[in-house]
C-alpha cells in the first residue's frame, strides 16, 4: 500500500520541483532575496520528498526481487567527475569543499552506472550534510586485488559506537544533535548496502566520534 501511494505521489512531486526550478532559474530577472530564500527552502524539501518516495519504491523492488541491474564497464575517473559535478551545488550551499584527492586511476569497474551513482551519491550527500562549514569532503580511489575502493572521507560528527551494528539497517538514523535538523528516512544506507552487494561489491566504514567518518565502497573491476 505504501509503495502504491508513493508511486502516485511521485508525479505531482516531480511537477512541484519542476515548477520551483523554473521559478528560481527560468525567468528573466532575479527574485527578491526573501522570495529566493523561500523558494530554496521549498525546493530542498521537494527534493527530500522525491528522495523518500524513490527510496520506498526501491525498497519494495528489492524486497520483491524485481529491481533489475544493468552492469557495464564504467570508467572510474568519469564516475568521479560526474559525482563532483552532481554534488557541487550541495557542497557550495553547505560551504563544504568537495574534492578528489587521488590521482586518475585509468581503470574501469563493472557496475550499473545509475545505481552506483545513487549509492556513492548518497554517501557523499550524507558526508556534506553532517560536516561543519569550512570542512573538506575528500574522495579517493585505491586499487585492490579484484576491486577499486572508492573512499569518501568527512570531518563531520562521526558515528557513535552504539550505532555500528545499525548503520545499514532499515529506517536507522545516526543518533546525533544534528539528526533532527537534517532529517532523512533512514533508508538510504540500507538500500546502498543491498545494491552494492548485488553488484558484487561491498561497503564498510571507519569512524571516530567528533572527528569524522570514512566510507569505503569496493566496486568490482571490469574484465
pLDDT confidence bin for 5, thresholds 50/70/90 = confident
pLDDT at site 63 = 84
pLDDT of 123 strictly over 90: yes
Question: What value, to the nearest 5°, has the Cα angle with vertex 200 and ends 75 and 62?
Answer: 110
Mean pLDDT (the chain) is 86
- The whole-number average pLDDT for the span 186-214 is 92
Instruction: Give the relative orientation of helices 33-64 and 188-198 as an angle to the nearest 10 degrees.
Output: 50
- Are 60 and 3 within 8 A, CB to CB? yes
pLDDT at site 78 = 94
pLDDT at site 177 = 42
Cell of 90: 550541495
pLDDT confidence bin for 44, thresholds 50/70/90 = confident
pLDDT at site 7 = 66
pLDDT confidence bin for 3, thresholds 50/70/90 = low
62-121 pLDDT, tens digit per residue, is 888 888 999 999 999 999 999 999 999 899 989 999 999 999 999 999 999 999 999 999
Residues in the chain: 223
Contacts of 21 (CB under 8 A, 6+ apart): 43
pLDDT at site 138 = 97
156-172 pLDDT, tens digit per residue, is 889 888 887 788 887 66
pLDDT at site 118 = 92
Amino acid at each position: 500500500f505504501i509503495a502504491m501511494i508513493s508511486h502516485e505521489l511521485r508525479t505531482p512531486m516531480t511537477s512541484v520541483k519542476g515548477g520551483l526550478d523554473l521559478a528560481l532559474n527560468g525567468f528573466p530577472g532575479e527574485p527578491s532575496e526573501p522570495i529566493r530564500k523561500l523558494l530554496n527552502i521549498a525546493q530542498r524539501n521537494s527534493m527530500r520528498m522525491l528522495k523518500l518516495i524513490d527510496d520506498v519504491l526501491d525498497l519494495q523492488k528489492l524486497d520483491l526481487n524485481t529491481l533489475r541491474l544493468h552492469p557495464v564497464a564504467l570508467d572510474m575517473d568519469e564516475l568521479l567527475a560526474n559525482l563532483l559535478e552532481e554534488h557541487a551545488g550541495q557542497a557550495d550551499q553547505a560551504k563544504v569543499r568537495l574534492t578528489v584527492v587521488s590521482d586518475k586511476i585509468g581503470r574501469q569497474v563493472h557496475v550499473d552506472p545509475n545505481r552506483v551513482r545513487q549509492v556513492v551519491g548518497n554517501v557523499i550527500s550524507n558526508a556534506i550534510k553532517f560536516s561543519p562549514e569550512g570542512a573538506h569532503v575528500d574522495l579517493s580511489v585505491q586499487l585492490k586485488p579484484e576491486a577499486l575502493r572508492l573512499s569518501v572521507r568527512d570531518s563531520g560528527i562521526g558515528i557513535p559506537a552504539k550505532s555500528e551494528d545499525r548503520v545499514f539497517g532499515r529506517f536507522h538514523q545516526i543518533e546525533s544533535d544534528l539528526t533532527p535538523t537534517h532529517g532523512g528516512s533512514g533508508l538510504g544506507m540500507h538500500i546502498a548496502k543491498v545494491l552494492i552487494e548485488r553488484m558484487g561489491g561491498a561497503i564498510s566504514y571507519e569512524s571516530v566520534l567528533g572527528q569524522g567518518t570514512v566510507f569505503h565502497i569496493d566496486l568490482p573491476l571490469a574484465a
